[in-house]
Amino acid sequence: MGSIAILKPFCAGRSLGWQLLDASERLLSALLLLAIAPLLAAAALVISLVSRRTPFIAHRRVGWQGSTLWILKLRTMWDEQPRPNGGGQWVEYIEDGAGRGLKSAADARVRHGLARFCRRHSIDELPQLLHVVRGEMALVGPRPVTRAELERYYGRAAEEILQAKPGLAGLWQVSGRNRLTYEERRRLDLALVRNRSFRMYASILLKTFPELWSGANTW
């Protein structure tokens, strides 16, 4: 597949209920960001001091309707070689063509206890609430992937997946997370897009919190 077509907005033709949900998500995410801002600021300060790098990173992903989405995360991995952040930047933009792969708190590049804790409980993903506030993501939807992943593993289903906003939480994240193969992820993403309902939305959100609390299988 040479390129991903830009599709008409998924919200077109949606019921008033879904449009209200979208507005509610953005308001709720803004309030959550304000509430957790002290936590994120403290974590970012510690990470910046111990890593000597930017406290945040942004990976390039394919977003809603094929747009480019620089997905924001708290930095949790760095190598041994010090690289002082002389420019005082907050975010390092990384062209991550390989994709998510296996996320593990035991990775050798996770070099600090706080980073391991944030990674295990997906605290490093919380800055993505900003994408929800900006309308680039939803609280529930298919997780954003790289273009290479989309073309290799999703094939003809890619355009269908891109009709929905990518989400902070999705169906495969509460159905096995990184224990799943890409084929299983693809099947669950399609099931989410094709069968989305308020009941499914609520179910995924309710299942997400125990997953994050346990930290048994990182995202």
Q: Are 77 and 193 in contact (CB under 8 A)?
A: no
Residue with tokens 């069968």, as numbered in its chain: 195
Strand order across the beta sheet in which 68-74 lies? 68-74, 56-62, 91-94
pLDDT value of position 214: 63
- Going by pLDDT thresholds of 50, 70 and 90, the confidence category of residue 138 is very high
Residue that wins the pLDDT comparison between 18 and 64: 64
Return mean pLDDT, the chain.
82
pLDDT value of position 27: 96
